[in-house]
Chains A and B, each alone.
Chain A
Amino acid sequence: MNGLCRNLLNPPFSHIYIEENIIDHPNTVKIMSHFPKSRQVIIKHYKDIFNRSRQNYPLQKQSQNLILAEKRPPFVYKGSPLCQNFGNARFFYANAAINCVYDCEYCYLQGMYPSANIVVFVNLEDIFNDVGKLLKNDPVYLCISYDTDLLALEGFLGYCEKWMEFAEFYPNLTVELRTKSANWNSLEKLAPRENVILAWTLSCEHVWEKYEHGAPSPMQRINCIDKALAKGFQTRLCFDPVIYIKGWEEEYGRLVETIFSKLPAGKIKDVSTGSFRIPCAYLKNMRKNKPYSSIINYPFMAENNVYVYPPGLSDKLNLYMHDILKKHIPEEKIFVWK
C-alpha cells in the first residue's frame, strides 16, 4: 500500500460529482449551496465513479469527495442478521447516504465499498414513499444511519430533520438514527419525537484514541447525549462493537462508570452491546487496505462466513459488558448480540 503526504492532497469535498438527471433536484441545489468553491463534475451514474476499479481507499479517505445521485430501487433493505433488531420483527434499513466522514479502523464500510467517497442520494422522497408502502401492513423498525453517519452530515444535508418530520406522520414507524457525532448544533434545532431513537455508539477511550480517527471523543459524545436526554430525545446507548484490546475490562468498565456518573440512567431508552463481528469478505478487503492496523489483523475465527472472536473470548466480552451494564440499567433494557 502506498500513500501521499497529507499536504499534497485536496481538501475534503474539493470535487462534487453530480448525476446529470438530478442536477436541478431541490436537495442537490441545497447541498451545492454549502460548497461554492467545489468543482462540479457531471456524471451519468454514480457507480461510474464509486465502483471504479483500482481505487485506493485509505488515500481517498484522506481527501473524500462527494457524489450526488439518484437512489434507484430497492429503497429499503431487510436488516442484517449481524445487527441487533431490539426485538423488532420487521427490521429494515434505508441508506440515503453511503460512507462516513469518520475513519474508524474497524468499520465494515471500508470492506463493503470500493470507494471512500461519500454518496448522497438526493431523492429522499422516493425512500419515504417506499417506507410508506411498508407501513400499510404492520409496524416497521427502520435504521436510517447504518452505512453512514447522518448526524455528522446534518450541517449540509438536513436529512435527520426530514426523517423526523416524516416519522411524525407514522406512529407505527420506529426510526433509529445511529451516530458517533456530537453535533449538538444540528440536534438542538430539532423537536424530539416518540418514535425516533437517537442511538450513540460509544467506545472506550483507548479505542477512540487509537482507532476512531476524526470521531468525537467519548466525553464529547456523552455531553451531547446529556443534552439530548435533557431535551427529551429517545436515546439509546450502543456499546457495539466491543473490541478486544489490552486491559479491555478496565477500559470498558471505566467507560460505563463515566457514562452513568454523567447521564440519568432512568431516561435512557435501552442499551445494546455486542463483541466485534464482520463478514469475512469485508475483513479481507480491510486487511489489504490496512495491513498495519492491529485491530483488524486479530486472528479471528470464521463462522458461517463471519469473522468473530474465538467463542470463549466473545462470550467473555459479552458477559462482562452485560454484568457491568445491569448495575445501572434494568436487564430487560439490555440487548446483547449473540
Chain B
Amino acid sequence: MIMIFTALNCEAKPIIRYFGLKKDPQFHMFQVFKNEDIILLVTKPGIVNAAIGVAHLCSVCPPNSSDLLLNIGICGAKNRNMPIGTVYLCNKIYEMETGFCYYPDMIYAHPFKESGILSSTSPVLENSAADLPENLADMEAVGIYRAGILFFQLHQMFIVKIVSDHLQFDKIDSNVVSDLIGRNMPEIAAWITRLHSGMINTPPVFTPEEENLLAEVSKYLRLTVSMQNQLRQAIHYYKLQHGSFSAQLSSFIQKEIVLPVKNKYERKKCFERLMQEFA
C-alpha cells in the first residue's frame, strides 16, 4: 500500500483523479480516498494537523514493511531561481519552532531535484526569506515525518514538494495548485509505483505451521522461556542449514513416550535429547 498525505483538497484532487481513488465513508474525521494499492488522506494545513492525520490513518490501517508513505504538497521557494512547478524531494527537514533537523534516508534513485525544507506552524513570508536556513518552506513536512517515523522505517518515507510561489502566500490559488500537482503526477506516480513494486518483503524464517509445531513441543515439554529460546535458536540454525525441520521434530514427539513430561527431571532429560537431535 502507498499511503499519500496532502494538506489541502486542491492538492488531493489531481491525485484522486490520476489514480481513480474512491472516497472511503468509514472515515469521519478526515477525508480518505482509496483504491486497492493507494490510500490518500487530506490532513488539513499545519504541522499538528499533518501529524494527527498520519497517526490516525496509520493506526486504523497499520503499515507493513513494504508499504510507503508519500507526502505530496506545494511549498514556497526563497530563491527566484527555483521555478514554480519544480518538483523537489526533501533530504532535510528543519523544524522552525525547535531548530531541530530531521533527515529522510536518501538511498533510492529518483528523477527530482533535492532540497532541504523549513517547516513552520505559520506561513513564512517573502520579507523574511533572506534569514531562512533552507531553500523551501511549508507547513506540514515535519509533522508528517515525526508521526510517520512511529509507523515506518526511514527508507519508506518520502516528502515531495512542488514549488507554488516565492513566499507570496496570499497569491496561491486553489486551481493553480491543482494544476501544478496534476502536471507533475505522471512522473511522481511512475516513480513511486515502480519503487513500491520493487519492495521485497522477506517472509519470517518460520511458517505459521512451524510456529504451531514449536509451540506444541514447548507445551508437551513444559519448557521454560529460556529453554524455548535455546530450542528456537537451534532449530532456526537447523532450518537454514537443512531447509526444513518439521518432519524430524514431529517424529521426535511421536517417539518420546514420556510426553507430556511430568516433572522437571523428565523435562531436563527430554530437552537434552531434543537439543542433541538438532545439534
Contact = CB atoms under 8 A, between A and B. Distances in A.
A17 B114 CA distance: 14
B200 A55 contact: no
B114 A4 contact: no
Contacts of A41: 91-92, 103, 106, 116
Contacts of B66: 2
Contact of A39 (B91, B107, B154): B91
Nearest to A65: B106
Please indicate which of the listed interface residues A10, A15, A297 has the most CB atoms of chain B within 10 Å of its own CB. Answer: A297
A299 B237 contact: yes
A162 interface: no
Interface in A1-23: 1-5, 7-10, 14-15, 17
A62 B107 CA distance: 8
Contact of A44 (B101, B105, B107): B101
A320 B66 CA distance: 46
Contact of A56 (B92, B149, B155, B195): B155
B205 interface: yes
A332 B162 CA distance: 69
A62 B200 CA distance: 14
Contact of A54 (B154, B194, B240): B154
Contacts of A17: 103
B212 interface: no
A112 interface: no
B201 interface: yes
A59 interface: yes
Nearest to B233: A299
Contacts of A44: 101
**What's the dominant secondary structure at chain A's contact region?**
loop
Interface in A53-80: 53-56, 59-60, 62-63, 65
B121 interface: no
Interface residues of A, number: 35
Contact of A10 (B103, B108, B195, B237): B108
A133 to B, nearest CB: 35
A39 to B, nearest CB: 6
B227 interface: no
Contact of A4 (B91, B198, B236): B198
B262 to A, nearest CB: 27
Interface in B112-131: 114, 116
A31 interface: no
A293 B105 CA distance: 25
Contacts of B172: none
A294 B107 contact: no
A2 B200 contact: yes
Please indicate which of the listed interface residues A10, A52, A54, A294 has the most CB atoms of chain B within 10 Å of its own CB. Answer: A54
A117 to B, nearest CB: 9
Contacts of A8: 108-109, 194-195, 198
B88 interface: no
Contacts of B149: 53-54
Nearest to B91: A41
A10 B202 contact: no
Given A39-B91, A55-B154, A297-B233, A2 B199 contact: yes
A259 B165 CA distance: 67
A17 B194 CA distance: 27
B209 to A, nearest CB: 18
B82 interface: no
Contacts of B241: 294
B142 to A, nearest CB: 14
B154 A56 contact: yes
Please indicate which of the listed interface residues A1, A59, A299 has the most CB atoms of chain B within 10 Å of its own CB. Answer: A299
A3 B261 CA distance: 43
Nearest to B202: A1
B174 interface: no
Interface string B74-115: 000000000000000001100000000101011111000010
A62 B66 CA distance: 17
A5 B195 CA distance: 8
Nearest to A58: B202
A65 B233 CA distance: 33
A291 interface: yes
B202 A3 contact: yes
A2 B65 contact: yes
Given A41-B116, A294-B237, A5 B107 contact: no
Given A3-B199, A4-B195, A294-B240, A9 B108 contact: yes
B244 to A, nearest CB: 14
Given A10-B106, A44-B101, 14 more contacts: A4-B198, A4-B199, A4-B200, A8-B194, A8-B198, A9-B109, A10-B107, A15-B91, A54-B153, A55-B155, A63-B107, A291-B205, A291-B236, A297-B236
27 contacts: A2-B66, A2-B202, A3-B200, A4-B155, A7-B198, A8-B194, A9-B109, A10-B107, A15-B106, A41-B91, A41-B92, A41-B106, A44-B101, A48-B103, A52-B154, A55-B155, A56-B153, A62-B107, A63-B107, A65-B107, A291-B202, A291-B205, A292-B202, A292-B240, A294-B241, A297-B236, A299-B236
